[in-house]
Every structure is written in structure tokens, then in C-alpha cells.
Amino acid sequence: MKIRVNEIPSGGISLSESFDAAPWKLNRQDINFDKPITITAFVTREKENLLVDAQINLVILFTCSRCLKEFEKSLNKSAMLFFQLKGENILDISDDIKEEIIVDYPIKILCSDNCKGLCPSCGRDLNEGQCSCKS
């Protein structure tokens, strides 16, 4: 998201943008973005300081680390970003938004807290029932 600093009125400005996440290279083997990211922001400026109150909304496609099933989860996050301007006319806050998303990646991705995973012998999804393997 690019902010044109000289176009910010004294009372601030509301901005909104939706875009594909592919150029940001946020995808991993277990995390994918197949729906657009939406950012709405209220931007205020005081002299050489810029304050961005951003709302980040997206849907993430995860792969469970135990059963390998894919599931979607929404992320709706608020972020307050502060910038000291150094004569810039256009400020690109894309990297800051990207960091805010990455910070919310889970350490261990699970479809549910009680996911039983796959049988290590036959590969059956134990969430769907027991397998016939010997314990």
C-alpha cells in the first residue's frame, strides 16, 4: 500500500486497498493465500510524522501439521504504524503490513486442538476413526 504524503489533509484520510498476496511471497508449504488481502487505513500526518491505523483482513489456507488436511482461517488484525518522514512524497507501507501478517503465523498449525493426526504405519486419518494397525 502506497501513501501519497502530500495528499493527506489536516484531518487525515481513509484509504482502502485489496490485492493478491502472491507478489509478497508469503506462501509456505503449509501456509497459502488464495484470496485477496484487504487493508483499510486511516492516515494522519503531523509535520514529519505519519500515523497509520490499519485494519488487515485476509483468509489464510493452512495445512494441518498432524493430519495434513487443508483448512481456512480468517485473520482480522489492527495495526498502528508510526513513520518519521524524511522528505518522502510517497511512502510504501507494504513491508510493514507484510511483517504484521507474518508475526501472526502460528508456531504449530493444527486444524483443531484435539487433532489426532495420521497413523504412522498405515497413514489413516485418526480423526475419522481407528485403524487396524497394532499399537
Q: Is residue 115 part of a domain?
A: no
Q: Is residue 108 part of a domain?
A: no
In the chain, the amino acid numbered 91 is L
pLDDT of residue 135: 64
- Whether the predicted pLDDT of 48 surpasses 90: no
pLDDT tens column, 12-31: 999 999 988 877 788 888 88
CA distance 85 to 51: 10
Work out the pLDDT band at 134, boundaries 50, 70, 90: confident
- Count of domains forming the chain: 1
How far does CA 133 lie from the centroid of its chain? Answer: 40
Taking the C-alpha atoms of 17, 104, 116 and 122 in order, what is their torsion angle to the nearest 10 degrees?
Answer: 70
Q: Is residue 54 part of a domain?
A: yes
- Alpha-carbon Rg for the chain, nearest whole angstrom, is 21
Q: Is residue 118 part of a domain?
A: no
pLDDT tens column, 75-133: 999 999 999 988 888 999 999 999 999 998 889 999 999 999 999 999 899 999 888 88
pLDDT of residue 83: 93
Q: Could you tell me the pTM of the whole model?
A: 0.81
CA distance 29 to 70: 11
Q: Is residue 95 part of a domain?
A: yes
pLDDT of residue 43: 96
Range of the domain at 55: 2-103
CA distances from 61 to 66, 81, 102, 112 (A): 15, 26, 14, 14
Q: Confirm if 101 and 56 have CB atoms less than 8 A apart.
A: yes
Find the mean pLDDT for residues 56-83: 94
CA distance 28 to 86: 35
Helix spans in 1-135 (H): 94-103
pLDDT of residue 128: 92
